[in-house]
Structure 1
């Protein structure tokens, strides 16, 4: 199954503490699976942990979260070498790709070294749902704000650019994100930026933002646009997803 058109779910959420497991997939991941259109079999979800160096303990947690959710989770590892011979074939066989957070700068460098950037574009064009959290959100845009270089937030402007916007993640939980996004949009470093509070996701069909959704009540999504030499922010009220 495919989503019917290129689809991205870019989030600042999707994971929660489990009951009998350390991690469970929350409503944003389930929504990405729903958008894939899969039915009549277990959904195929690829977990990509490049941004945290393919940490094996978290890969195990993601696979276990998939078991609890009823998904077949396939990890894609690039450290110390790709764990599959045919990266493109494995990615294109999925219903959903979920990219973990961490260092977006390191993720982009490693993906480019292995040609995964081009594979992800082909997957998007082939209507595999692309999704992720934090670094796994920023990577689909032109860029955003990151602590990949150190504790001081800095811009990254060379992300994959499937979506022609900037991206602000953890908008409500990291005090430095909002003012930096405003400054980068105001001075033209980033184009208009789409931003999410923790627990919120943005759904794109093609390059159009069609909906904001949330797994946590009271949270928001935002569009920051340049007007003259200043940035103007508009809040988008997300639709609350049913709990899972």
Structure 2
């Protein structure tokens, strides 16, 4: 077992521009590796790009970034067919699975067709850190909002459900995301949950949020909750900036405001 408990890192982040390479592992991706607690060897990271159609040029950029980061990286592809004879054995031997963005709807459909949804759930229970950005963050939740069906933003209430509630991403960079997500939660199409600005992540241990992190200051996570009258209430959660002491993390103790926000978001209504 790598992680102490089943662990998920859901983010709006991943690769960044590299200084000597086209791409580099960004702070959130590095944090996923830290959560796996690897010692004495190179971390093993599998990238999954189903949502982006398993494009080889993206795969090349990720492998180059992994080499620069000292990571033993591989890809799991489903196009034109699975590239691994034993996907289960491969996934269970990893420290981190990082899922990139793209079409959330296509990702879920293909994973289920190939049984990858069950294999990833088994890996999660075994201590492999599941992580990703955008569609690779929303997929672990009960549902979220997505551009999978066209240029507009639509709800998709059929996520894997490893962690409870809904998730919205790109909350501060795409002006269509916030109103679409609020509408879906307010109408009861999606359950209460969270939303992430660019560069922000939620760390789950089991099904509980235990840390809210960011690559830089000035960005936020949001607790998004349906009110009794069918409206929506948003509460800002200020994340801990990566590289600062853990003592600077949002207070998630049972009496804290941030912890109460998280508990309320999980409470059925």
TM-score higher than 0.5: yes
Mean Cα deviation higher: 87-96 or 179-188? 179-188
Q: Tell me which of the two structures has the higher relative contact order, counting C-alpha pairs closer than 8 angstroms and 6 or more residues apart.
A: 1
Q: How big is each residue's C-alpha offset from its partner over 1:122-156, in whole Å with a ceiling of 9 and x where there is no partner?
A: 01111100000001001100111111110011111
Query: In the alignment, does 2:3 pair up with 1:25?
Result: no
Give the Cα–Cα distance (whole angstroms) in 2 for the partners of residues 98 and 193 of structure 1.
22
**TM-score, structure 2 as length reference:** 0.89
**1:180 positional shift:** 1.4
**Unaligned runs of at least 5 residues, structure 2:** 245-269
**1:211 positional shift:** 1.2
**Unaligned runs of at least 5 residues, structure 1:** none
Query: In the alignment, does 2:248 pair up with 1:232?
Result: no
Q: How does 1:1-244 map to 2 (within 5 A)?
A: 1-228=1-228, 229-242=230-243
SS in 1 for 2:10: strand
**TM-score, structure 1 as length reference:** 0.98
Give the Cα–Cα distance (whole angstroms) in 2 for the partners of residues 6 and 162 of structure 1.
10
Q: How big is each residue's C-alpha offset from its partner over 1:58-90, in whole Å with a ceiling of 9 and x where there is no partner?
A: 001101110111111110011001110001111
SS in 2 for 1:28: helix
- List, as ranges, runs of 4+ consecutive aligned residues in structure 1 with deviation greater than 6 Å: none
Contact 1:142 1:164 (C-alpha < 8 Å) held by counterparts: yes
Give the Cα–Cα distance (whole angstroms) in 2 for the partners of residues 240 and 116 of structure 1.
33
Aligned length: 243
Q: How big is each residue's C-alpha offset from its partner over 1:144-195, in whole Å with a ceiling of 9 and x where there is no partner?
A: 1111110011111111011111000001001011111111111111111211
**1:216 positional shift:** 2.3
**1:210 positional shift:** 1.1
Give the Cα–Cα distance (whole angstroms) in 1 for the partners of residues 62 and 243 of structure 2.
21
Q: Max radius of gyration: which structure?
A: 2
